């Protein structure tokens, strides 16, 4: 969920010509809190690996489930030619997502 939310912020910030790294503030804040609490827990665990993996998976899947995202992904990797469709006239940009 946080990955998809970050994707939406990332697209919105790209559309307004702002720094897209601001979209990752929430995950950075949550991981920072988790780091602070893990410092007080002397046993420690690798739960943060699962959290980061879930974030990356959610962010990456958002490209596919965004409106027109699957077609853009096919165009980007050349799969549209294999399906009998014409190749794109230009490479997809973030403006296409918004």
**Do 31 and 52 meet the contact criterion of CB atoms below 8 Å apart?**
yes
Reported as a pLDDT band with limits 50, 70 and 90, residue 74 is confident
Separation CA 63–CA 44 (nearest Å)? 33
Task: For 12-61, write each residue's pLDDT tens digit.
Answer: 888 888 888 888 888 889 888 888 877 777 656 777 788 888 888 988 88
Residue 23's nearest CA partner among 37, 11, 6 is 6
Residue 5 clears pLDDT 70, i.e. is over it: yes
Q: For the chain, how far is it from start to end, CA to CA, in angstroms?
A: 19
């Amino acid at each position: 969920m946080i990955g998809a939310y970050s994707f939406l912020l990332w697209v919105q910030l790209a559309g307004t010509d702002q720094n897209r790294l601001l979209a990752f503030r929430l995950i950075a804040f949550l991981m920072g809190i988790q780091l602070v609490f893990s410092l007080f827990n002397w046993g420690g665990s690798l739960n943060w690996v699962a959290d980061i993996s879930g974030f990356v998976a959610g962010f990456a899947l958002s490209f596919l489930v965004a409106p027109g995202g699957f077609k853009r992904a096919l165009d980007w990797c050349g799969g549209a030619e294999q399906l009998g469709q014409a190749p794109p006239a230009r490479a997809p940009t973030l403006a296409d997502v918004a």
